[in-house]
Structure 1
Amino acid sequence: MMIAAPASLAIELLLWPVFGASFSTAALGWGAAAGVASAAAFALLYRTLAIGPMSVLSPVTALVSAVLPVGVGLVQGERLSAAGLVGLPLALVAVVLVSAGHRARSVRPSRTALLLTFGAGAAIALQLICLHQAPSDSGLAPLIIGRAVSSVVTLTAAGLLHRRLGPERPAFALSAAAGVLDSLANLCFLLAARSGDLAVVAVITALYPAGTVLLARGVLAERIHRGQLVGLGTAAVAVSFLALT
């Protein structure tokens, strides 16, 4: 996290001339709130990954991160078409099917793991909601401010906890690459949310485990079990319906 957050900030600063940035009061406020939520989301998510089992916790995280923005979008007056009313629940089902591993039924997470999972999902949802609330004409300002805040929070926490970090050196290249990809993902979400409904965009974003499953199959030669195959198919159908909204 110490490496990924500054790497993300560097990418957003490089993209500033391309997309522009308007640092209004609203952009600063919502961007800062998104940054705090982002730092909390990463810390809670990585802690959840360490505790496991992710075969159970991953779909819970994804569901929470999708359901909260859907609720906010509907409260703010977003209305779904008939296709959206079909695609939205299908997408939520797909999130669970794709995320769940083949051992999901045989293991039970601890109470601490479940609390961290809900916290991670809520923090991710808050980050998405804050980015969506930022003015649509603010360009990359919410992302730049948010990443600067999350970098400060992360580095401050690391300074306070430096004695607990251990002597092992982090994987600098992989950590930086993760930060770059996270920055591009947030940019794609911001552009999508500005041109579409938060309820739809957030649910499609929560389908990210599908990409993880496919990459694990292609890169790590992991097996995709039957439930995940059904989930991938359901995801394709759901996205097709949501694209019609």
Structure 2
Amino acid sequence: MVTGLVLALSASVLWGTADFAGGRLSRHLPLLIVVTCSQGAGLVALLIVLLVRGGVQPAAAGWGTVAGVLSVGSVACLYRALAIGTMSVIAPIVATSAVVPVLVGLATGERPGPAAGAGIVLALAGVVLASRQQAYHPPADHRLSVLLAVAAAVCAGGQLVALQRAGSIDALSGVGASRAVSVSIFVLVLLFARTRAPVRALPAAAVVGVLDTAANLAYTLASTRALLSLSAVSASLYPVVTIALARALLHERLRPLQVTGAVLVMAGVLLIASR
């Protein structure tokens, strides 16, 4: 149980760091380049590990394929929502993606204790508050952006469930298949888009990909060592990590609502860990 929570929190730190680094990189490079190169680097790292270890579990790869398709769906819906909507509305909706594995866990018989249950509620509420951003422009299409944000949250939550199912068989095979599917789709899009970037920027994108892939692997392993509902919520605290890094390294100011959210997240983690 403790090992699972440590792995899940490690996934949060890795995802949050990858999002921060990827976001900064996307200010100078086309987003499609960053996503494709970073995920491609993660796939190469996984393939090396799989070759050294030897053997791929087909059943785990099947769940990984589902996770990969859902990952692409989540990214596509999220970026389209951000393009036509308002971040202050979109980000909190997408941050609730952990609700999906929580509901799946409860439906399949998981019963977190009272303290852990309260921790789940506090952590989710904290992530939503911490993810809120100041809106400066009205949305171009509010209703559609909200629907896309909900779709992104559902896909992201479904991805967490699929990775958990893959991890129960073989984590490396599952995450490897997931990454192979998403990279293949992004490469096809990149070829049609004909987007380019300087070669010297690619190593930075590779670092982002390794961090993101390590986060996926850490979560997948965590979900097999702790309840799905608890590991998914603990691994979904990455927006707080991204915000903390932005505050520490870029000196971005936190609004009172975001500080409140961070406090709720920490309280939720402590309650979950006390289970």
TM tier, smaller = 0.7 to 0.9
Contact 2:60–2:171 (Cα < 8 Å) also in 1: no
Q: What corresponds to 2:6 in structure 1? A: none
Which of 41, 59, 70 in structure 2 is aligned with 1:37?
A: 70
Q: What does 1:96-245 correspond to in 2, within 5 Å?
A: 96-103=128-135, 110-134=142-166, 136-159=168-191, 161-162=192-193, 165=195, 171-245=201-275
Contact 2:116–2:274 (Cα < 8 Å) also in 1: yes
**Unaligned runs of at least 5 residues, structure 1:** none
- AA of the residue aligned to 1:130: A
Percent identical: 37
**Unaligned runs of at least 5 residues, structure 2:** 1-34
Q: What corresponds to 1:61 in structure 2? A: 94
C-alpha distance in 2, partners of 1:240/1:14?
37
- AA of the residue aligned to 1:75: A
TM-score norm. by structure 1 comes to 0.88
C-alpha distance in 2, partners of 1:177/1:110?
35
Contact 2:98–2:233 (Cα < 8 Å) also in 1: yes
Which of 38, 60, 81 in structure 2 is aligned with 1:48?
A: 81
C-alpha distance in 2, partners of 1:42/1:177?
19
Equivalent pairs counted in the alignment come to 239
C-alpha distance in 1, partners of 2:243/2:226?
27
RMSD between superposed Cα atoms in Å: 2.3
Change (3 A) 1:179 1:96: same
State which drifts further: 52-61 or 184-193.
52-61
Change (3 A) 1:53 1:173: farther
- Give per-residue Cα distances to partners, 1:58-116, cap 9 Å, x unaligned: 110011x1111111111111111011121111111101111112449x95562222122
Change (3 A) 1:183 1:137: same
C-alpha distance in 2, partners of 1:52/1:200?
31
